[in-house]
Amino acid sequence: MTTGNAQQPHQPVPSAGLRHLRPDVKAMTGYTPGEQVRDCVKLNTNECPWPPSPNVLAALRAAAAESLRLYPEPRSRAVCQAAAAAYGVSADQVLIGNGSDDCLTIVYRAFLRPGDRIACPWPTYGLYDTLATLQGAEVVHVDYVPQGTTWKLPATLAKQAAKLVIVANPNNPSATLVPVAELRQLASELDGVLVVDEAYVEFAGDGASLLPHLDRHPNLIVLRTFSKSYSLAGARLGMLFAHPEIVAQLMKVKDSYNVNSISQALGVAALNDKGYHRDLVRRTISERARLEAALTAFGWTWPDSAANFLLCEVGPRAEQIYLALKSAGILVRWWATEPLRTKLRITVGRPEWNDRLLSALRELHA
């Protein structure tokens, strides 16, 4: 139908539409996702090294033509119910997003008007800033306080007159964990909303999550993702937990059909296979310990990791090592910005991938 080949030269003139763009959008740099290269040892974007649950793959194979033909259930109710059962909350405290990035976007759009302020400890996940720019909001960075082998939450974080305070816990890219008691204190002190992004919390051991305390803090929003411990980064699924009245308001802001039917089915299957999930987490933690033991040989240091990656302090050769690893077919994450220029973020991979990384590093150091 329609079109066919237009037989016209492309891009005949610069776009007249450009001058109607929001100036702040035109001026901004987009968020740069980690490189998505295939055919290499990929230790740069903190995915799970093992495949998702066999239940998930069975759900994928079982997906019927009807679930593609028809619109998805708009509120992902089945996933909400499975999440409620898995995490001990009620289904009306859950919102499912097209990745937890979508959950973040929904929160920003619901709470922030241009000129409103968000605050986060720094350095952290760069997307928090990108989304603020998109919303015309002001960002305040308050530096983390390195202390011993961890990073402490800055004491002034609660005093920034911010509508939203966002803390990744464990933090990305440092992998450090702030104790639950400190975050509860922050939530209580805050005249605003506290968003705790728990993308990596399963790797932090028991008692690290704020979810069991959700009912005590009506200004608290907790985010979880299927992209890390559930091995479903490709499915785009995130969970938001909050007071039911907050969830009801956020539902108005999300795209009406924000999560596709297949991903909804996969999410339910993943949540229902608790044993496999526990096993993925256990294997990751055990492999993290082995990697840490081996990396000490290079004289590198890193803050205590409560996540599935390490932020290694490697000194002024960081970029050089990043590039050498890349040409050896091993991708890790390096940022050109301070205070990360001298560091490499390394995802815990499968044992054989970590071995390749260690061999390559030995060669570089030899």
Binding to its own copies, residues 125-184 (CB under 8 A):
127, 134, 136, 163-164
Return the residue of 41, 43, 56, 157 that touches its own copies, per CB under 8 A.
56
Residue 12 or 316: the one with the smaller Cβ distance to its own copies is 12
140 to 112, 113, 156, 177, 259: CA distances (angstroms): 14, 15, 11, 21, 31
Q: Site residues for its own copies, window 178-237 (CB under 8 A)?
A: 192-193, 201-202, 205-209, 211-216, 218-221, 227, 229, 231-236
End-to-end CA distance of the chain: 63
**CB contact set of 63 (below 8 Å; sequence gap of 6+):** 261, 262, 265
Cβ atoms 346, 47 nearer than 8 A: no
Residue 1 or 181: the one with the smaller Cβ distance to its own copies is 1
Q: Closest approach of Cβ 345 to its own copies, in Å?
A: 15
Tokens at 311, concatenated: 């932020």
Helix (H, G, I), strand (E, B) or coil at 210: coil
71 binds its own copies (CB under 8 A): yes
Q: Closest approach of Cβ 215 to its own copies, in Å?
A: 5
Residue 93 or 174: the one with the smaller Cβ distance to its own copies is 93
Question: Vertex 179, ends 243 and 50: CA angle to 5°?
Answer: 85
Cβ atoms 65, 262 nearer than 8 A: no
Q: Closest approach of Cβ 103 to its own copies, in Å?
A: 10
42 binds its own copies (CB under 8 A): yes
**Identity of the amino acid at 266:** L
Instruction: Please give the Cα distance from 5 to 2 (Å, whole number).
Output: 10
Size of the site for its own copies (CB under 8 A): 122
Torsion of CA 64, 69, 75, 76, to 10 degrees: 20
14 binds its own copies (CB under 8 A): yes
Q: Closest approach of Cβ 318 to its own copies, in Å?
A: 23
Residue 193 or 361: the one with the smaller Cβ distance to its own copies is 193
Q: Site residues for its own copies, window 96-115 (CB under 8 A)?
A: 98-99, 101-102, 105, 109-114
333 binds its own copies (CB under 8 A): no
Candidates 81, 75, 84, 135; CA nearest to 110 is: 135
34 binds its own copies (CB under 8 A): yes
Residue 13 or 336: the one with the smaller Cβ distance to its own copies is 13
Return the residue of 58, 68, 155, 323 that touches its own copies, per CB under 8 A.
68
